Amino acid sequence: MFVHVETRRRPRWHWATLLIVSVCVLCFVGLALAPAPQRISFLLEWGTVPANIFDPHEALLPQLTDPALLRLFTALFIHVTWLHLLSNLLFLAIFGLPGERALGSMRFLLLFVLGGIVANLIGALSLQGVRLPIIGCSGAVSAVVGTYVALFPRAKLGLVLPLGLYLEFVRVPAFLLIGIWVLLQLLFSYAGPSYGAYVWWAHIGGFLFGLIFALFSRDAVARRLRG
């Protein structure tokens, strides 16, 4: 799965996507091996639990300096089911690898982290009082997808599909895969407590953040592509 990006720059090693995938997988394996009580305790301690972060009866601005907001970041790397993990990392690879080539590893990592934090913040604000944890990097991946759409609106992705005994290479519009991503997020949002709180607004917020991030990154991307 790839999209070709024209550039005269020397090939560089892009490490951000690999780092994100590695941390998510290690966290998933660690949780899978932990006893159930410890796993639940970990989710409540490091997931974004809206009721533990925001008090609807207190002023919002002072609460934005609460150290508990660190959970907006740590929740990005927590997954409790392999399907949730696989779907996030698959689309991160599809859209993240070409996005990282265009943005550069540091800027791409900044997009993932800030987009995920903003997405979780929006999710927590929309779910004040809810005691289920918001977990997973869906909001961050939504930010990556949003940036990809803005940078490559007419891009096509090359896919290798298994057809019987043969592998077939096809090129499909990126918007088709984005539609599949949206459907998956809808399914996860309505799956209920097994995946954490309902966070559809977090996905929308992450996607919009990605669009805005791309607008501010266009000049930097153009300079990279010119070499």
Q: For the segment 25-35, what is each residue's pLDDT rounded down to a tens digit?
A: 999 999 999 99
User: Which ranges of 6-104 would DSSP assign to H, the alpha helix?
Assistant: 16-33, 36-46, 50-53, 60-63, 71-74, 82-103
CB-based contacts of 225, cutoff 8 Å, min separation 6: 5, 6, 7, 102
Q: Using alpha carbons, select from 73, 70, 79 the residue that is nearest to residue 21.
A: 79
Which of 103-107, 113-117, 151-155 bottoms out in mean pLDDT, i.e. has the lowest?
A: 151-155
Residue 150 and residue 214 in contact, taking contact as beta carbons nearer than 8 Å? yes
H/E segment holding residue 171: strand 166-173
The predicted model gives 66-84 an average pLDDT of 88
- Looking at residue 31, what is its pLDDT? 93
The predicted model gives 172-177 an average pLDDT of 77
> pTM of whole model > 0.75?
yes
Please work out, in degrees rounded to the nearest 5, the angle formed at the alpha carbon of residue 187 by the alpha carbons of 185 and 160.
65
Q: Other CB atoms closer than 10 Å to residue 26's CB: what's the count?
A: 11
The mean of the pLDDT values for the chain is: 81
- Looking at residue 222, what is its pLDDT? 74
User: What SS3 class is residue 30?
Assistant: helix
- Looking at residue 83, what is its pLDDT? 84
Structure tokens at 17: 């996507």
Q: Using alpha carbons, select from 203, 174, 169 the residue that is nearest to residue 186.
A: 203
- Looking at residue 193, what is its pLDDT? 44
Could you give the percent of the chain with pLDDT greater than 70?
A: 80
